[in-house]
Structure formats: C-alpha cells, structure tokens
DNA sequence: GACGCGTGGCC
DNA sequence: TGGCCAAGCGT
C-alpha cells in the first residue's frame, strides 16, 4: 500500500468529516498550545468547557504569565493532572520574560518548554507552522497498529520507535497539521477502541488488521500492575465558623487545597493517624471527634478511602510543613479555591 | 523502563 | 463495583 494513497484518502475524509472544534478555528500558537496540553490524556468533550472558560479569563500568553497560580489552578480544577497547569504557567512566564514574547519557531524549540513533549511539540509545530513533524498519541497508536497489523505491545519501547518511524514516514510536507489531526480524528471516531466503524473507514482497503479480522483486538498492551488501595483520614477543624484547609505540595494534586490529613499507617488507628498527621504537617494538636463521612476515590495509580473526622483544636501553632500554606475558610468560600474532586466529595457532607 | 500523575465515561 | 481507556510528560 502506498503512503500517498493513505494520505489522500485520510485528508479527503478529514475534509468532509472534521469536527468544528474551537482550537481549529485559529492558528494562534497560544490557542493551539493550550488545546494540546488540555487534551493530553483527556477527552475532547471534557476539554471543551474548560478551554472556553480559560480563554475568556486568560486570552493571551501575556495574561497567563501575569496570572497568579491560584487563578490558573482554579481554571484547571477538575481537569486532573494538575502539573499540566503549573507547567503551562511556567512556560508562559518563560516565553514572556525570557524570550521577549517570541514563540518557539520549531518543534525542537517547543520541546524545550516544560510540559511539551514529543507529541505536543509535533502537534503544535505541524498545526501552527506547517512543519512536517509527526505525532504519536493513543489514537495514532491504535490506527497504525490496526492498519499495519502490529501485534507487539504498543507500550513496548521498540514498538513505540517503530510507530514514530511510521508516523514520520506518513506525514506529508503539504498539509502535516491536517494530516496529523485527521489521523487522530479517525482514531477517535472511526477506528475506536471498541466496535470500530470499519464500514465508514477511508483506509479500509489498506487495513491489514481488518483484513485479518483482528482489528478490534489491536492494539495490544502490556498488563498493568494492580492499583493499591489506601486508607486515609482528613480533619474538619472548625474555628469561629471557619474550616482549616491546607495547600498541597508539588506531586499528587500539587497546589490544590484540602482538609488536612494523611494516610493511616500499618497498626495505627484512624484517629491516631489523624492526630499525628496534623502535628507533622501543620504543627497543630487536636482531639479527634466523631467520624462525619467516608468517601471512596480512584486516582490514576491509587485508590483511597478517606474518613473525615470532626476535630477540636487543643494546642500547637499553625506552621505549615508538609502543606505549603494553610487558611481558615467559611463553607461558602470553599468554591473560590482549587479543590480536588475528593475534597469536594467530602465537602458535600458538611452541614450547609 | 517503570512510575507517578486525575478525572469521567463506558461496559 | 471494577477495569479500561483517553490528543502524554517528567523523572
């Protein structure tokens, strides 16, 4: 099969079937960059409202660079992988302050920015400047694995190299941005993970996976390791009608605010764990009272059950250690801060 | 190379 | 309920 035929068929299909997505209405590097970062590991439908809201509040890279981190995280709240927002913020400041507002001129230059890897750099450079850079994302892995009947695990390093080589050999000099988006669009809507719509596929005549009757079983992946389940505790410390919140350090949910607490260690009771965590993390001493709620939550790599206890402040002095800051807030004010999903679940159990 | 890193939808 | 997956990146 010729790559020319694949390119033609795919571009023609894309011309007729491309969705009217907001980031496709402009080649503004800021808008394309923002969309690509938001779309990392995140569905189009999830991104749409976040994208619009973000651009209303921070319409330019200069506005982003000038914003404070709390604003940035508040706009990102709920999208997950919060390091993406902090990297976007850092990169915007680098562009404005170190590059005099000059955009990267190539995929290689985009790669220098935090949060921009091989995929994102190729996507931005091909879309905004017509640079013939390839992209390999989850969609492209699936499409190519089926098209070329690649049945080694696609998360294998050797297979990944092969996929990048294939993608690079396919991307045309003429319309690389459209071609890359077409490949991903095909993966999202036709060459879907389950029940692919081969009847509608422009590449059907060339697809080795379909011909062999194994398209839906591809791509193969390596077995994932089991996800651990951890018990955690959190404290509702009340003072004068205000609740104590701590800001999380870099890492899981970095920069977001939570009811302070921590994991329950082996051989430790939940109240013991909570009293210990509050001393270690915030320098305060409490009496742990009744359990108010328990919620389950699943992260990408961890499952937790968090029990919330009412606590009474008995001593110590508020000195954030693990947490990078602490604040006392009324219930109404909780919505002003970036909160993780699990904290919102817990907050639902508070008396209004 | 293997992890750590969120959330929501689907089956 | 639980596993899988999604326009990945950084370490």
pLDDT digits (tens, 9 = 90+) for A187-243: 999 999 999 999 999 999 999 999 999 999 999 998 888 899 999 999 999 999 999
pLDDT digits (tens, 9 = 90+) for A260-317: 999 999 999 999 999 999 999 999 999 999 999 999 999 999 999 999 999 999 998 9
Q: Across chain A, what does the average pLDDT equal?
A: 96
Q: Per this entry, what is the length of chain A?
A: 352
> A77 and A42 in one domain?
yes
pLDDT digits (tens, 9 = 90+) for A66-107: 999 999 999 999 999 999 999 999 999 999 999 999 999 999
Query: Does residue A141 fall inside a structural domain?
Result: yes
Give the CATH number, domain containing residue A314.
Answer: 3.90.79.10
Contact A110, A87 (CB under 8 A): no
Residue A69, domain extent: 3-217
Closest CA to A331 of A262, A260, A259: A259
The residues of the protein lying within 7 Å (CB) of strand B read A 41-43, 46, 78-83, 157-158, 194, 222, 225, 251-254, 297-302, 340-342
Query: Is 80 exceeded by the pLDDT of residue A351?
Result: no
> A256 and A170 in one domain?
no
The torsion angle over the Cα atoms of residues A37, A38, A39 and A40, rounded to 10 degrees, is 60
Q: Of A183, A217, A251, which marks where a domain is finished? A: A217
Q: What is the pLDDT of residue A2?
A: 79
pLDDT digits (tens, 9 = 90+) for A19-52: 999 999 999 999 999 999 999 999 999 999 999 9
**Percent of chain A predicted with pLDDT > 70:** 99
Residue whose CA lies closest to nucleotide B3 C1': A301
Contact A337, A255 (CB under 8 A): no
Q: Of A217, A246, A263, which marks where a domain is finished? A: A217
Q: What is the pLDDT of residue A1?
A: 57
Contact A109, A78 (CB under 8 A): no
> A284 and A193 in one domain?
no
Gap between the Cα atoms of A285 and A61, Å rounded: 44
Give the CATH number, domain containing residue A28.
Answer: 1.10.340.30
Contact A242, A328 (CB under 8 A): yes
Gap between the Cα atoms of A151 and A279, Å rounded: 53
Q: Of A217, A237, A255, which marks where a domain is finished? A: A217
Gap between the Cα atoms of A260 and A321, Å rounded: 12
């Amino acid at each position: 099969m010729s790559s020319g035929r694949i390119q033609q068929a795919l571009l023609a299909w894309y011309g007729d079937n491309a969705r009217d997505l907001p980031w496709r209405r402009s080649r503004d590097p800021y808008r394309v960059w923002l969309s690509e970062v938001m779309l990392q590991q995140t569905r189009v439908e999830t991104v749409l409202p976040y994208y619009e809201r973000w651009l209303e509040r921070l319409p330019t890279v200069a506005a982003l660079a000038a914003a404070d981190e709390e604003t940035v995280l508040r706009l990102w709240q709920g999208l997950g992988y919060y390091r993406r927002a902090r990297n976007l913020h850092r990169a915007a400041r680098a562009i404005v302050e170190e590059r005099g507002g000059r955009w990267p001129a190539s995929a290689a230059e985009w790669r220098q920015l935090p949060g921009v890897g091989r995929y994102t750099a190729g996507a931005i450079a091909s879309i905004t400047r017509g640079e013939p850079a390839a992209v390999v994302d989850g969609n492209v892995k699936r499409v190519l694995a089926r098209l070329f009947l690649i049945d080694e695990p696609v998360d294998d390093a050797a297979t990944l190299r092969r996929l990048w080589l294939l993608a690079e050999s396919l991307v045309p000099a003429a319309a690389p941005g459209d071609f890359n988006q077409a490949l991903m669009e095909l993966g999202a809507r036709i060459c879907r993970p389950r029940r692919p719509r081969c009847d509608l596929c422009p590449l059907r005549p060339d697809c080795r996976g379909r011909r062999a009757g194994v398209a839906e079983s591809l791509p193969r992946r390596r077995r994932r390791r089991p996800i651990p389940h951890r018990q955690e505790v959190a404290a509702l410390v009340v003072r004068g009608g205000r609740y104590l919140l701590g800001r999380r350090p870099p890492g899981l949910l970095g920069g977001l605010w939570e009811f302070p607490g921590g994991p329950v260690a082996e051989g430790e009771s939940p109240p013991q764990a909570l009293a210990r965590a509050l001393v270690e993390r915030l320098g305060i001493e409490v009496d742990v009272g009744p359990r108010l709620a328990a919620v389950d939550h699943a992260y990408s790599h961890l499952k937790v059950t968090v029990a919330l206890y009412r606590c009474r402040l008995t001593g110590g002095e508020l000195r954030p250690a693990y947490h990078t800051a602490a604040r006392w807030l009324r219930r109404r004010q909780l919505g002003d801060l970036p909160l993780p999903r699990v904290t919102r679940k817990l907050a639902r159990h508070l008396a209004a």
